[in-house]
Chain A
Amino acid sequence: MRVRDLRGLLRDLERIFGVSGAKTQQDAVANVADALPHDRGQEQDLAVYLKKVEEELADDAAPPSAKYVRRLREAGLAEDAFLAALNSIEADKRIKKADLLAIAQAYTGSADRKASVRSLLKQMRAHFYTKLYERDANELAKRATPV
């Protein structure tokens, strides 16, 4: 089943509640249906999408830094995923300097407590690109022909 099929089901429920005058239930179901992905996103497998929802809800219950540490680690050496995670951190108003310090420490292994927010972000970028260069250098070394 796809995400759009669930939306269809929720729209049916919305109509039923609308006809029966159950406004609270109608609104709740409509809110969920509206929040489901549109366009390409609605074609994805429902189980996969709902798993992500479950993870997001679990992240909500955890400290905000835990979510971003997980995202940065999951990004691995994928530059787009890493930059998206870093942008989310910068945009998240809940993230204070103490949270950022915890994220930087968990991601890079160490972080200066006196460092500014800007330098902590810079340190995380540097850590990522160092790992990326190391991977590329190792690949080049493997392909090199010994003289």
Chain B
Amino acid sequence: MKVSQLRATLEEFATIHEGTGSKEKADALRALAQALKAADKREVKEVIPAFERAAAVAISASGLASRR
């Protein structure tokens, strides 16, 4: 599945959440869709390492912060 297709799906569900008054959920799904925009032509599987690397950066940053 292409990232562009996943993004379209996320946008659809964001619209549904908006319709039911869950603005926060809609915003979260749109934020994810926006973060993926630069990788539109790639397969979803190919962008998974970027999520994992961002998670690793977050963990090491919080480790550094807790030691200070």
Residues of A within 8 A of B (CB): 1, 5-6, 9, 13, 24-25, 27-29, 31-32, 35-41, 44, 46-58, 60-61, 78, 80-81, 84
User: Is the Cβ of A56 less than 8 Å from the Cβ of B59?
Assistant: no
User: A55 to B47, alpha carbons, bound, how many Å?
Assistant: 12
- With A54-B35, A81-B64 already in contact, the answer to whether A40 and B50 are too (CB < 8 A) is no
Residue of A nearest to B60 (CB): A84
Q: What is the predominant secondary structure among interface residues of chain A facing chain B? A: helix
Question: Would you list 26 pairs from A and B whose C-beta atoms are within 8 A, ordered by A residue?
Answer: A6-B28, A24-B1, A25-B1, A25-B6, A31-B44, A32-B6, A32-B51, A35-B55, A36-B51, A37-B55, A37-B59, A38-B55, A40-B62, A41-B58, A41-B59, A41-B62, A52-B54, A52-B57, A53-B35, A53-B54, A54-B35, A54-B38, A56-B53, A56-B54, A80-B67, A81-B60
| Total chain B interface residues with beta-carbon distance under 8 A | 35
User: A36 to B13, alpha carbons, bound, how many Å?
Assistant: 19
- Which of A1, A41, A44, A55 gathers most chain B CB within 10 Å? A41
How many A-B pairs have beta carbons closer than 8 Å: the answer is: 100
User: Is the Cβ of B29 less than 8 Å from the Cβ of A9?
Assistant: yes
User: Is the Cβ of A52 less than 8 Å from the Cβ of B58?
Assistant: yes
User: A55 to B39, alpha carbons, bound, how many Å?
Assistant: 11
User: A62 to B9, alpha carbons, bound, how many Å?
Assistant: 27
User: Is the Cβ of A57 less than 8 Å from the Cβ of B47?
Assistant: yes
Residue of B nearest to A61 (CB): B38
**Least distance between A14 CB and chain B CB atoms (Å):** 12
User: Is the Cβ of B9 less than 8 Å from the Cβ of A25?
Assistant: yes
Residues of B within 8 A of A (CB): 1, 5-6, 9, 13, 24-25, 27-29, 31-32, 34-36, 38-39, 44-45, 47-48, 50-55, 57-60, 62-64, 67
User: A84 to B59, alpha carbons, bound, how many Å?
Assistant: 12
User: Is the Cβ of B35 less than 8 Å from the Cβ of A41?
Assistant: no
**Least distance between A51 CB and chain B CB atoms (Å):** 8
**A47 / chain B contacts, CB cutoff of 8 Å:** 31
